[in-house]
Structure 1
Amino acid sequence: MVGGIIWNAAFTAIGVGLGALVRNLSTAIAAALAWLALVEGLVGQLLGDNARWLPFNAGLSLNHMPEMTVGGLSQAAAASALLGYAVAICLVAIATTVRRDVT
């Protein structure tokens, strides 16, 4: 249960960071869905066992669903990977958004 809470919190932070990076709401949603469908799906199949480090596969491992992942990570490694993605995206969003003009 704790893994699911961390998974949701990390993806919330990733979503907020993506929303701050991309000004258009439709574009931000389309980019997030394209990431899940294209990058996680297609590139994940090309990477094989290394796809376990992609955000959604790390989330599945964190939520303790190894039957749905390729190889799977330990819960600690999955939490670290997801928190790393969240921190990186939020830091980039903060760095770019603070410089933007509000008007």
Structure 2
Amino acid sequence: MAKLTIQNKHGIVRFENQLLDGYEKVFDEISEQASRAHIQNLTLDMTPTKKITSSGVAKLLTLRNLLDHFGIKLEVVNLQPALMDVLKKFKVDAMLRIRA
């Protein structure tokens, strides 16, 4: 489960699960808020997330493209080192513009 909070056009998503998959409802909420220009910056706080499914990776890439289309800046914070290694292995870190 994840929760989106918006303050002054800055959105923060806090993931509460150890597993991130592409079926989180928060991704639909982000898409809706972005299309209505309610956010200018989005921060994904991945503190508890330890694993990610292939659908989760696909959803993150889709989200990145959507936010780029609307001119919204995406920042991923508190990414676990093991999860970063997985993203690097599949060269997704560069596509998501995540740096260690």
Give the alignment's TM-score, normalised by structure 1: 0.28
Give the alignment's TM-score, normalised by structure 2: 0.28
Which structure is higher in strand share? 2
Which structure is higher in helix share? 1
